[in-house]
Amino acid sequence: MLKSKTFVKKTRSGGVMKIVREHYLRDDIWCGSEVCTECKQESTVLQRDACLESSLCSYPHYLIPDTNVVLHQIDVLEDPVIRNVIILQTVLQEVRHRSAPIYKRLKDIIHEKEKHFYTFTNEHHRETFIEREPGESANDRNDRAIRVASKWYSQHLKTSKSDAEGLKVVLLTNDSGNKQKAEESGLLVYKCEEYIKSLIANPELVDRLALSNDDKNEITASKVLFPEHLPLSRIQAGIKSGSFLQGTFRASRDNYLEATVFVQGEGEDSKEVLLQGLQNLNRAVHQDVVAVQLLPRNEWVAPSSVVLQDEGAAKDDEAEEEEEEKALRISAAEAARKPTGKVVGIIKRSWRPFCGMLNLSQIKESTRHLFTPADRRIPRIRIETRQAATLAGQRIMVAIDGWPKNSRYPNGHFVRSLGSAGEKDTEQEVLLLEHDVPHQAFSQAVLSFLPKMPWGITPEDMVRREDLRQLTVCSVDPPGCTDIDDALHCRELDNGNLEVGVHIADVSHFIRPGNALDKEAANRGTTVYLCGKRIDMVPELLSSNLCSLRSNVERLAFSCIWEINHQAEILKTRFTKSVINSKASLTYAEAQMRIDDTSKNDDITKSLRGLNKLAKILKRRRIEKGALTLSSLEVRFHIDSETHDPIDLQTKELMETNSMVEEFMLLANISVAQKIYDEFPDCAMLRKHPAPPPSNYDILLKAAKSKEVNIHTDSAKALADSLDVAKVDGFPYFNTLLRILATRCMMQAVYFCSGMDSDFHHYGLASPIYTHFTSPIRRYADIIVHRLLAVAIGADSTYPDLMDKHKQSALSNNLNYRHKMSQYAQRASVAFHTQLFFKSRGILNEEGFVLFVRKNAIIVLIPKFGLEGTVFFDSKDKAGPNLVFDEEGPTLTIEQHTFHIFDKVKVTISLDDSNIQHQKIRMALIDPVIPGVSVAVPEIEPQAKKPKLDR
């Protein structure tokens, strides 16, 4: 049966277009139930014995949730207890339009066989399709469609000549109007909350209920604490007229009463608005999109240098808070003041489930507790739970439901428990969830696109490929590396020149555009390396086997081959898909030993020596052009093979061979960038590193000046040259510290699409163009670059998305996000393992250097461990020493002693695990000795806790 839907649509030019869509109605849409004998269905989803012990429904029943129940109570629907649910097409479509993340979660539940969720296509079923009546809103029409489908189901199941006596359908809705109409038409209908509370056997499900608006009002005090948020229409008008600004709210990690709103402008014209005080933050949460109004100039303030954590009991008494807010408003120099504003409305909430821990209420029998998120930028959340005693000491996940204007904290509900706090697996899970790192096992759909084993190179694979198996190719990597992306060769040509090849794993041969494996890799964006664990971007069969360029096996590669003279000048460049057979997989140390061992003269060693000689010339030339050599301390843990705990911690040493590999990777990346840009000027995926704004260098210049050293920052070359000559007699570590500080001044390097940007320059490498080509096993950007290069040399076919600059640009944004998050996750993993290391060490005394000076603290770097920590000079309990902070220096004078950046200090290091969720490395000053501030040198206890080795 054919229906037609007619509606009018406004076109861009302002005209009106009439659209007629055909809508087919069918008789062969089945109900999906095991009890049904009417429907001619081959397989069923809904079970015969759909029994859930409920005090409201003592009979077997199926559930039909309406759209709002799905949108607000998805946590409940995901619970394994809830089964045999009918999801109507009307509901599915509405959820899809209103929330992409919840739609994805709903689709995942529908695909889980043991959940027995059935999608019923009511909009195309002859008996359940309804037309919108004149004057009826779309919302009312959809509610009616849900009621009609529910009615059809209950009658359909009644007429089924089956032995399922009393199987019924229960409609769940939170809309009073909808519930009343459903009852009038004789349907079984309950509010979601009353149904969940009736489940006798599963009382814990109540904790997962999101609060409805009625409940929210009960919990909060009557006193209004925050200004009302403006409605969206007012906000849009205000943004249009320029009286409001739209931006992303970024809460401060160090100060819960302060935040900035980043307002995206045209090109360089972005700005930040400072917010201070609870009223001005007005219930915005980190990463929300908000509307802000600037305050009059005379109310502008400077960012605070005070560190304030929202700790202690639930602060519903504002006295202490007002004290803290006053402490922020220290009169600042006019120049230091920033544009300051207040949040007037929320445009888009970016709430996600947050990891953290429960602070149990002091009130006996109370079911209301405060939850403290692991991320210090997120406010505490008030939740209701009856299982608080069980959840104490566990890491849990909580979702925010709302933040009324009369509540000090947002309200939320319990989602799930992650395990005991402090346990390695739990903490790793928290770390991955908090940094939004996709880490679930690869699905069957993804794995189905892997090549079938045993795999071998076929004659078809050899078409358009060069056979380079005879070349002396070898790889050089860190110890224990199984995902080997790159291999190198160098040999002398008959004409006296050298041929150098960089051979990269041909991952794009195995991952074809648009399939499930490709989509998963694009979403993950990068492999994430944590201490002792790797979260792969592609399944292990590829990452550690078929794509890994291991020695003595044939592997497919993408090769970049140059003819180079002995002065390291490139005479010819060519690119080709190839087959190689690596002759050795070496570590950096093994390669170094071969180069240095004069008795060795085999082909591999000769190749390595040739590469090393050229790399030194290439590096010198790069540095002459202004490339920066920066420094950051990387640490390596020695892990106990049985307990997997860290037993030693050292900073990584870099060898000549590290630099050798790096030079050729850079050369390959630059050569490929030029090639793909020449071929595809509009859609090449490139990588740029913007020059930092001059103000970024303030701290570096002040630090150098304090030691009477001049640093020039007008260009990368000026910076590189002045860093090279920056030395202080008797202070050999000064130059490294300066480079560490210079690294902190840098911007983040980012991927971008060449057709969407005009500034390609890479500041750090001093290269006019750059991309990533050399690590396709662990970075998705490299796979795109491989595809572009393959099309450019005629080795593979193109596809529409590859040539679409808007799609490429959107992909770049995701890759930049994933890349940034993976770096943060790696740092968090190092921090956690550092804490584990110090846990078994008691108190250590170490030498360090002051990196930064704050108003009430100094930040100290311990080079031996690559560790940074804060020494605080004021405590809440006792009167602090006399502190004088001078911003110009910056210096901090305590009693009679003045601290400058780079001062040498001696500190005690210990782990403070009094707050299990935010364990901290605590540092206290030993030297210089300041009466009342520094501590006595502790007796180093015998290290009884060291792991025994005589097992």
Task: Give the angle subtended at the CA of 75 by the CAs of 73 and 78, to the nearest 5°.
Answer: 115
Lowest average pLDDT, out of 114-123, 436-445, 863-872, goes to 863-872
How far is 859 from 815, CA to CA, in rounded Å?
32
* Residue of 544, 551, 556, 554 whose CA lies nearest to 584: 551
Residue 316 confidence (pLDDT): 47
Residue 253 confidence (pLDDT): 81
- Mean pLDDT, range 827-840, rounded to an integer: 84
Cis preceding-peptide flag for 373 (omega within 30 of 0): no
How far is 274 from 574, CA to CA, in rounded Å?
52
pLDDT at 933 over 80: no
| Structure-derived torsion over alpha carbons of residues 319, 323, 328, 330, reported in degrees to the nearest 10 | 140
pLDDT at 215 over 60: no
How far is 503 from 484, CA to CA, in rounded Å?
11
Residue 720 confidence (pLDDT): 85
- What's the chain's average pLDDT? 84
- Mean pLDDT, range 732-749, rounded to an integer: 84
Q: Using alpha carbons only, how large is the chain's radius of gyration in Å?
A: 32
Residue 334 confidence (pLDDT): 56
Amino acid letter at 449? F
499: tokens are: 């041929």
Side by side, which strands form the sheet with 883-886?
A: 883-886, 891-894, 897-899
Per-residue pLDDT tens for 897-910?
888 888 888 888 88
Residue 910 confidence (pLDDT): 84
Residue 948 confidence (pLDDT): 34
Helical residues (DSSP H) of 201-351, grouped into ranges? 213-219, 232-241, 278-281, 318-328
Residue 852 confidence (pLDDT): 84
pLDDT at 944 over 50: no
Residue 481 confidence (pLDDT): 85
Residue 683 confidence (pLDDT): 92
Residue 782 confidence (pLDDT): 95
pLDDT at 331 over 70: no
Strand partners, 420: 394
Percent of the chain with pLDDT over 70: 89
CA 536, 539, 543, 545 torsion-angle sign: positive
Length reported for the chain = 951
Per-residue pLDDT tens for 470-522?
999 999 998 888 889 999 999 999 999 999 999 999 999 999 999 999 999 99
- The better pLDDT of the pair 867, 945 is held by 867
> Are the C-beta atoms of residues 271 and 265 closer than 8 Å to each other?
yes
- Mean pLDDT, range 850-858, rounded to an integer: 84
How far is 676 from 757, CA to CA, in rounded Å?
15
- The better pLDDT of the pair 655, 513 is held by 513
Most confident stretch, 180-189, 374-383, 674-683: 674-683
* Distances in whole angstroms, Cα of residue 905 to Cα of each of 571, 862, 893, 926: 53, 10, 15, 8
Domain locations along the chain? 2-204, 232-348, 444-675, 842-927
Confidence of residue 652 (pLDDT cuts 50, 70, 90): low
Angle at which helix 516-524 crosses helix 805-839, to 10 degrees, equals 60
**Exposed / middle / buried, residue 564 (Cβ in 10 Å: 0-12, 13-18, 19+):** buried
Per-residue pLDDT tens for 775-826?
999 999 999 999 999 999 988 889 988 899 999 999 999 999 999 999 999 9
Most confident stretch, 308-322, 329-343, 652-666: 652-666
Per-residue pLDDT tens for 611-640?
999 999 999 998 888 888 776 666 666 666
Q: What is the DSSP string of 524-591?
A: H-B-EEETTEEE-SS-HIIIIIISS--BTSEEEEEEEEEEE-TT--EEEEEEEEEEEEBSEEEEHHHH
- Mean pLDDT, range 154-181, rounded to an integer: 80
- Which residue's structure tokens are 């189901």? 153
- Residue 936: helix, strand or coil by DSSP? coil
Instruction: Give the count of beta carbons closer than 10 Å to the beta carbon of residue 108.
Output: 13
> Are the C-beta atoms of residues 574 and 489 closer than 8 Å to each other?
no
Would strands 584-587 and 474-477 be described as parallel, antiparallel, or unpaired? parallel
Would strands 394-402 and 354-359 be described as parallel, antiparallel, or unpaired? antiparallel
Lowest average pLDDT, out of 423-427, 787-791, 801-805, 869-873, goes to 869-873
> Are the C-beta atoms of residues 670 and 678 closer than 8 Å to each other?
no
Confidence of residue 100 (pLDDT cuts 50, 70, 90): confident
Percent of the chain with pLDDT over 90: 32
pTM of the full structure: 0.78
| Structure-derived torsion over alpha carbons of residues 602, 604, 606, 608, reported in degrees to the nearest 10 | -150
pLDDT at 317 over 60: no
Phi-psi region of 841 (alpha: psi -120 to 50; beta: other; left: phi over 0): alpha
DSSP label at 779? B
- Residue 390: helix, strand or coil by DSSP? helix
Confidence of residue 7 (pLDDT cuts 50, 70, 90): low
pLDDT at 771 over 70: yes
If residue 123 lies in a helix (H) or strand (E), which one and from where to where?
Answer: none
Per-residue pLDDT tens for 440-479?
899 888 999 999 989 899 988 888 899 999 999 999 998 8
Per-residue pLDDT tens for 344-363?
999 988 888 899 998 877 77
Helices (H) and strands (E) in the chain, counts: 26, 38
| Structure-derived torsion over alpha carbons of residues 136, 142, 147, 150, reported in degrees to the nearest 10 | 160
> Are the C-beta atoms of residues 910 and 838 closer than 8 Å to each other?
yes
Per-residue pLDDT tens for 362-410?
776 677 888 989 888 899 999 888 788 888 888 999 988 888 888 889 9
Cβ partners under 8 Å of residue 88, min gap 6:
64, 119, 120, 122, 145, 146, 149
pLDDT at 555 over 70: yes
* Residue of 231, 229, 270, 266 whose CA lies nearest to 248: 270
Name the CATH topology of 2-204.
Answer: Rossmann fold (3.40.50)
- Mean pLDDT, range 694-704, rounded to an integer: 85
How far is 507 from 485, CA to CA, in rounded Å?
9
CATH code at 842-927:
2.40.50.140
Per-residue pLDDT tens for 591-608?
999 999 888 889 999 999
Confidence of residue 315 (pLDDT cuts 50, 70, 90): very low
Helical residues (DSSP H) of 644-715, grouped into ranges? 656-679, 698-706
Cβ partners under 8 Å of residue 4, min gap 6:
20, 21, 22, 23
- Which residue's structure tokens are 């906000």? 235
pLDDT at 329 over 60: no
Beta strands per DSSP E along 797-937: 844-853, 857-862, 867-872, 883-886, 891-894, 897-899, 904-912, 920-927
**Exposed / middle / buried, residue 735 (Cβ in 10 Å: 0-12, 13-18, 19+):** middle
pLDDT at 18 over 70: yes
- The better pLDDT of the pair 315, 931 is held by 931
Expressed in percent and rounded to 5, the helix, strand and coil fractions of the chain are 30, 25, 40
Residue 809 confidence (pLDDT): 92
How far is 311 from 305, CA to CA, in rounded Å?
18
CA atoms within 13 A on the CB side of 300: 15
- Mean pLDDT, range 744-750, rounded to an integer: 87
Lowest average pLDDT, out of 12-21, 85-94, 758-767, 802-811, goes to 12-21
* Residue of 883, 877, 885 whose CA lies nearest to 853: 885
Residue 634 confidence (pLDDT): 66
> Are the C-beta atoms of residues 610 and 490 closer than 8 Å to each other?
yes
* Distances in whole angstroms, Cα of residue 559 to Cα of each of 455, 508, 618: 21, 13, 20
How far is 334 from 336, CA to CA, in rounded Å?
6
- Residue 896: helix, strand or coil by DSSP? coil
| CATH topology agreement for domains 232-348 and 842-927 | yes
CATH code at 232-348:
2.40.50.690
If residue 750 lies in a helix (H) or strand (E), which one and from where to where?
Answer: strand 750-753
Residue 2 confidence (pLDDT): 64
